[in-house]
Amino acid sequence: MIDKKNASIDLHIHSHFSDGLFSPKEIVTIAQERGLVAIAIADHDNFFGLIEAVQAGKDREVQVIPAVELSCTWKRQEVHLLGYLFNPQHPMLLNHCEQVCRQREQRALKIVRLLQKQGIRIGIELVRQASGQGCIGRPHIAQVLVDEGFVFSIQEAFEKYLGDNRSAYVEESHIDLAAAIRLLQEADGLTVLSHPGLYDWNELIPYAVGKGLDGLEIVHPRHDQQQQAIFRGIASSQGLLMSGGSDYHGQKFREPTIGLLEVPRSWLQQMMEKAMIKQPQLDIEKGEKPF
Q: Using CA atoms, how far apart are residues 127 and 88, in angstroms rounded to an integer? A: 27
Last residue of some domain: 162, 190, 206? 162
What is the band of 156 on the pLDDT scale with cuts at 50, 70, 90?
A: very high
- Shared domain for 248 and 180, answered yes or no, is yes
Q: Is 261 helix (H, G, I), strand (E, B) or coil?
A: coil
pLDDT at residue 262, as a whole number: 93
Contact between 250 and 20 (Cβ < 8 Å): yes
**How many domains does the structure of the chain reveal?**
2
Residue type (1 letter), 14: H
- Shared domain for 84 and 100, answered yes or no, is no
Last residue of some domain: 113, 130, 162? 162
Q: What is the reported pTM?
A: 0.89
pLDDT at residue 220, as a whole number: 97
- Shared domain for 46 and 141, answered yes or no, is no
Residue of 39, 134, 50 whose CA lies nearest to 87 = 50
- Shared domain for 113 and 231, answered yes or no, is no
Contacts 24+ apart (CB under 8 A), 236-241: 238/209, 240/209, 240/213, 240/214, 240/215, 240/216, 241/190, 241/192, 241/214, 241/215, 241/216, 241/267, 241/270, 241/271, 241/274
pLDDT in tens, 1-33: 344 555 689 999 999 898 888 999 999 999 999
Is a pLDDT exceeding 70 seen at residue 77? yes
- Pairing type for strands 241-244 and 215-219 reads parallel
Note down the domain range covering 277: 9-88+173-286
CATH of the domain at 228: 3.20.20.140
Q: What is the mean pLDDT of residues 119-143?
A: 90
Question: Considering the chain, what is the average pLDDT of its residues?
Answer: 90
Of 30-39, 151-160, 249-258, least confident by mean pLDDT is 249-258
pLDDT in tens, 170-226: 998 899 999 999 999 999 999 999 999 999 999 999 999 999 999 999 999 999 999
- Shared domain for 191 and 268, answered yes or no, is yes
Maximum alpha-carbon separation in the chain? 58
Those residues with Cβ within 8 angstroms of residue 152's Cβ, 6 or more apart along the chain or in another chain: 146
